[in-house]
C-alpha cells in the first residue's frame, strides 16, 4: 500500500509538471526553435542530474547487458518523443498538446500487453479505442488549419513513443536508481541531437535569451520539467505496473488546459471537449479494471 501511494504521488506530480510545461514551451519556442530547445533543456537537465547524483552518492555503473535497453529508452523517449512533442506544441495550442498526449495511458496498456504480457481484455481494448477516437476527433477538427493538424499528428507520435518508453522502463532492473537511468537516457539524447543542433545555433537571436521569461523558461524546462519530473516518473513506474502508472498521465491535460486558458487566453471549443471526454472515458475504464 505504501509503494502504491508513493508511486501514485510521484506520477501525479510528474504529469502535473508536464501539464504546466506546455505553456512554458509556447513562450520559449517563439525565440528558440523546437529542436534547439530540447537540446538546451537537456544540457541544463544533465547538469542538474549530475549534481543530484553526486549529492546522493549514486553509483553510475551500468551492466553491459543493460546498455542497449537504456540507449533505446533514450532514443525513443528522450529524443523522438520529446522532439515531436516540442514541434507539435509549436504548431498547435497548449491545450491540444496536453490533451492529445494524454492518450499515452491507453497506448501504454497496449504496449504493456505486447512487451510485458500484462492482461489485455475487452475493457482495455475499449479504452484504447475511445482514447484513439478522442485523439483523431481533436486532430481532425475542421475548424483548425493544416498547421494545427500537423501539430496534432506530431503530438500523436510523441504520445506513442512516450508510451513505448514508459513500458520499456519496466524492463530496466529495479536496482538502478531513477536518477542514473534518467541521466544516461538524456545523455543518449544529447549525443544524438548535438550534430543536428550545432549547425543551427547561429539562427537563434541570443540577445532575446536575456529576457527573464526565456532564460527562466529554459531553466524551468531543464531542471523542473526534465530532471525532476523524469526522475519522479521513472520512480513511480518502478512502484506501479505499466497499465496503472499510465493513468496518472491524465493530470497533464487538466493542468495544461487550465493554464492554457488562464495564461495564454486559449479558447476551449465543443469538439475539443468531446475528444477530451472520449479520452477520459478510456482512461476511466482502465482505472475501474485495475481496482
Give tens-digit pLDDT for 251-282. 776 677 667 677 767 666 667 678 778 877 77
Q: For the purposes of burial, counting CB atoms within 10 Å of the CB of 3, is it exposed (0-12), middle (13-18) or buried (19 or more)?
A: exposed
pLDDT tens digit string along 2-12? 677 788 788 88
Mean pLDDT of the chain: 81
pLDDT tier at 219 (50, 70, 90 boundaries)? very high
Report the C-alpha gap between 194 and 118 in whole angstroms. Answer: 37
Number of domains, the chain: 1
pLDDT tens digit string along 61-94? 999 999 999 999 999 999 999 888 878 877 776 5
179: containing domain: 1-290
pLDDT score at 257: 67
Report the C-alpha gap between 246 and 15 in whole angstroms. Answer: 10
- Within 8 A by CB and 6+ apart from 79, the residues are 188, 189, 192, 193
Of 66-70, 184-188, 201-205, 219-223, where does mean pLDDT reach its minimum?
Answer: 201-205
**Is 60 exceeded by the pLDDT of residue 172?**
yes
C-alpha cell at 212: 527573464
Report the C-alpha gap between 97 and 33 in whole angstroms. Answer: 17
Amino acid at each position: 500500500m505504501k509503494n502504491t501511494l508513493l508511486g501514485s504521488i510521484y506520477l501525479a506530480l510528474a504529469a502535473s509538471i508536464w501539464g504546466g510545461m506546455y505553456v512554458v514551451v509556447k513562450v520559449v519556442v517563439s525565440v528558440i526553435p523546437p529542436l534547439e530547445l530540447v537540446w538546451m533543456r537537456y544540457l541544463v537537465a544533465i547538469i542538474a542530474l549530475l549534481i543530484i547524483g553526486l549529492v546522493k552518492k549514486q553509483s553510475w555503473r551500468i551492466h553491459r547487458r543493460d546498455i542497449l535497453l537504456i540507449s533505446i529508452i533514450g532514443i525513443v523517449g528522450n529524443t523522438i518523443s520529446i522532439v515531436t512533442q516540442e514541434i507539435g506544441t509549436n504548431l498547435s495550442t497548449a491545450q491540444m498538446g496536453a490533451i492529445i498526449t494524454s492518450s499515452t495511458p491507453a497506448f501504454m496498456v497496449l504496449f504493456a500487453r505486447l512487451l510485458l504480457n500484462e492482461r489485455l481484455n475487452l475493457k482495455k481494448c475499449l479504452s484504447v479505442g475511445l482514447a484513439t477516437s478522442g485523439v483523431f476527433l481533436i486532430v481532425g477538427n475542421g475548424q483548425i488549419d493544416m498547421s494545427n493538424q500537423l501539430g496534432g499528428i506530431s503530438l500523436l507520435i510523441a504520445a506513442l513513443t512516450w508510451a513505448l518508453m514508459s513500458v520499456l522502463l519496466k524492463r530496466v532492473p529495479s536496482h538502478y536508481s531513477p536518477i542514473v537511468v534518467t541521466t544516461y537516457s538524456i545523455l543518449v539524447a544529447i549525443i544524438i541531437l548535438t550534430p543536428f543542433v550545432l549547425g543551427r545555433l547561429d539562427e537563434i537571436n541570443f540577445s532575446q535569451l536575456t529576457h527573464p521569461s526565456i532564460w527562466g523558461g529554459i531553466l524551468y524546462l531543464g531542471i523542473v520539467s526534465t530532471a525532476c519530473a523524469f526522475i519522479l516518473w521513472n520512480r513511480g513506474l518502478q512502484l506501479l505496473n505499466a497499465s496503472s502508472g499510465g493513468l496518472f498521465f491524465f493530470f497533464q491535460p487538466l493542468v495544461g488546459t487550465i493554464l492554457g486558458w488562464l495564461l495564454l487566453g486559449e479558447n476551449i471549443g465543443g469538439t475539443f471537449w468531446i475528444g477530451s471526454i472520449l479520452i477520459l472515458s478510456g482512461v476511466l475504464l482502465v482505472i475501474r479494471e485495475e481496482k
